[in-house]
Structure 1
Amino acid sequence: MHEQALIDTANALVVDGKGILAADESTGTIKKRLDSIGVESTEKTRQTYRNLLFTADGAQDFISGVILFEETLFQQADDGTPFPKLLADQGVIPGIKVDKGAKPLAGSPEEKVTEGLDGLRERLAEYAAAGARFAKWRGVIDIADDQPTDYCIHVNAHALARYAALCQEAGIVPIVEPEVLMDGANSIERCEEVTDRVLDAVFAELKKQNVMLEGMLLKPNMVIAGKQCPQQAGVEQVAQATLRCLKRRVPSAVPGIVFLSGGQSDELATAHLDAMNRMGPQPWKLSFSYGRALQAPALAAWGGKDENIAAAQQAYLKRARNNGAAARGEYSADMEQAA
């Protein structure tokens, strides 16, 4: 075990005022993103878009790490520099998404289990050789009248812990991502109850499988009402409910919690993170690991056109700067009006 290296990397990813860019969209997901701006998804257009993000000057002041998709890990920047080296040269830590996606759960097909453990040890060795220093695995938990079942929670928690143990064996920091989805009509109270059950199961499995908590990060959902719920909670209520849930279940040995945005709007995800950081020091650093909430304005500004690259980079830089401020509890809505 590379204990000190794991601890150092985990802490570097949640250094004050910085967070993680999740640029690990699968081929299918990035196709949807590019379709939305009328750009065909090819290896070249995917490379061009990621190159735009990774070469945005100044982003390294607010971005500590970038999660890459496997294809991207082995691609090069426009000047021929491998993307992991390009990032590392800026002081940004390269990471890698290693799961193979959520599939129907046998015996409860309306629920999902994430696959990708087969061959993971060998893949992690390849990823480490290519420059990856941390990884991500996402478990998906949906809320419905009779969901999630204890069965679904258990198998996803077990898989997350197996993944984490294999990562640490390979000298790679695992980001453990149990995502309770916000797609339904559930209340914020129901989300808190489910998130509590999920985190309880995840940390029980991590303990059973000897995962070193000091050398990992947690990437949870915020406690929030479902999108279809008519009663949406305010920013302060979301922050309070999320912190209450995390304090009950996340040991203080974990160095940091990097939230997913989960379909929230760009500005709301930033405001929620800021509100939590304003509620005083917590046992762990609170930061971000956002995908759409960092990228959406840049993607729209780019539109697939070379002449828009500078504008797209400025849009990305603005979101990175604002979320960096939120990670310090120093964000204000006035920052959204700034150029």
Structure 2
Amino acid sequence: MSTDTFAQMAAQMTNGKGFIAALDQSGGSTPKALGLYGVTEDMYDGEEAMFAEIHAMRTRIIKAPDFTKDKVLGAILFERTMRGEVDGKPTAKALWEDRGIVPFLKIDKGLDDKANGVQMMKPIPGLEDTLKEAATFGIFGTKERSVIHEANPEGIKAVVAQQFEVGKTVVSCGMVPIIEPEVDINSATKSEAEAILKAEITAQLDALADDQNVMLKLTIPNEAGLYDDLADHPRVLRVVALSGGYTTDDACARLSKQPKMIASFSRALAEGLSKQQSDEEFNAALGANIDKIYQASL
């Protein structure tokens, strides 16, 4: 990727109006995502057919008239989606060249078992090789997810330290990591966990060098404006919000109280979409979701 292209993408992620689409369901979550799309497990045979179905769904979303940089700033891709094509063009290239949307890659390999009230990321073998491959596709940044279930200071500190360790590897390969320590929306100690998380993230951000920039993807906090200080930190391009299981309407209502967060929704983006819909019905439903999420991100 040229320096000019990277700068254009960075400017869009820092200053653009809109949200980031999460098109990164992986092997474990694909059957559920397909089921919501009206494609049940008896409609495909084997993993390859399953991934072909999810790629067809994502292609339909990417090619929809409202899926452009006017409201969608970036899109997070699963590895198979990155290696796939949209109308004969690599997916990331189709996103940027045809839609003006900045491509990201999900790089985590899932979650370890719960310990100390959190789920750390599993090891990511071959990470640097994956990042080098991603660079050849024109990927701007990455996303890596952990989950916090309880306000356990030791667990949260470990999650954030692991996230930033991986993030620094991403930065060293010329990309911008989206650091995602999700707080479970059903946690009985959600507010307390968010306060601890903010302090740990701040400490890690303060320790970064001037050329180490990141993005943050966080659960919409209970307290309005809680993460505004993080959004203003000189090492942060943008703070984005995950929907975390909230309905689209609920997620958008909560997000509208967070002036310095924009959305990065997956399930909420695809809510109400179905393979059985005509293109006109599909595009109308997706357009309505995009507009709702866009408005909440302003």
Q: 2:102 aligns with which of 93, 104, 127?
A: 93
Aligned to 1:326: 296
Aligned to 1:234: none
Q: What amino acid sits opposite 2:256 in the alignment?
A: D
Deviations 1:255-293 (A, max 9, x none): 32111111111012112222333xxxxxxx421111111
Q: What amino acid sits opposite 1:325 in the alignment?
A: Q
Query: In 1, are the aligned partners of 2:231 and 2:239 still within 8 Å (CA)?
Result: no
Query: In 1, are the aligned partners of 2:239 and 2:261 still within 8 Å (CA)?
Result: yes
Please say which of residues 166-175 and 108-117 is displaced more in the overlay.
108-117
Unaligned runs of 5+ residues in structure 1 are: 225-240, 278-284, 329-339
SS at match of 1:255: strand
Deviations 1:207-250 (A, max 9, x none): 4454756x3211111123xxxxxxxxxxxxxxxx131x324666
Q: Give the superposition deviation at 1:17.
A: 2.6
- 1:294 pairs with 2:293: no
Cα 1:120–1:11 shift into 2, 3 Å: same
SS at match of 2:258: helix
Deviations 1:51-71 (A, max 9, x none): 111101122121011000001
Cα 1:197–1:4 shift into 2, 3 Å: farther
Query: In 2, are the aligned partners of 1:174 and 1:217 still within 8 Å (CA)?
Result: yes
Q: How does 1:88-127 map to 2 (within 5 A)?
A: 88-89=96-97, 90-104=99-113, 108=115, 111-127=118-134
- 1:180 pairs with 2:183: yes
Q: 2:71 aligns with which of 62, 72, 85?
A: 62
Q: Percent identity?
A: 24
2-side partners of 1:117 and 1:155: how far apart?
16
- 1:165 pairs with 2:168: yes
Query: In 1, are the aligned partners of 2:117 and 2:149 still within 8 Å (CA)?
Result: no
Query: In 2, are the aligned partners of 1:18 and 1:287 still within 8 Å (CA)?
Result: yes
The count of residues paired between Structure 1 and Structure 2 equals 286
Q: What amino acid sits opposite 1:18 in the alignment?
A: G
Cα 1:222–1:192 shift into 2, 3 Å: same
Aligned to 2:191: 192
Deviations 1:145-196 (A, max 9, x none): xxx4333212211111012111111111111111110124x2xxx4222111
2-side partners of 1:58 and 1:249: how far apart?
30
1-side partners of 2:219 and 2:18: how far apart?
19
Unaligned runs of 5+ residues in structure 2 are: 45-49
SS at match of 1:219: strand
Aligned to 1:45: 53
Deviations 1:64-118 (A, max 9, x none): 11000001101112x222211111121111110011111115xx37641112444
2-side partners of 1:50 and 1:100: how far apart?
20
2-side partners of 1:199 and 1:6: how far apart?
28
2-side partners of 1:110 and 1:255: how far apart?
29
Q: What amino acid sits opposite 1:62 in the alignment?
A: K
Q: What amino acid sits opposite 2:263 in the alignment?
A: F
Cα 1:177–1:212 shift into 2, 3 Å: farther
Deviations 1:113-141 (A, max 9, x none): 11244421221111111121111011210
Q: What amino acid sits opposite 1:293 in the alignment?
A: A
Deviations 1:20-50 (A, max 9, x none): 0001111110211213434336122111101
SS at match of 1:168: helix
Aligned to 1:266: 248
1-side partners of 2:218 and 2:116: how far apart?
23
SS at match of 1:311: helix
Cα 1:4–1:219 shift into 2, 3 Å: farther
Q: 2:237 aligns with which of 250, 255, 263?
A: 255
Q: 2:85 aligns with which of 73, 76, 83?
A: 76
- TM (norm. structure 2) is 0.86
Q: What amino acid sits opposite 2:40 in the alignment?
A: V
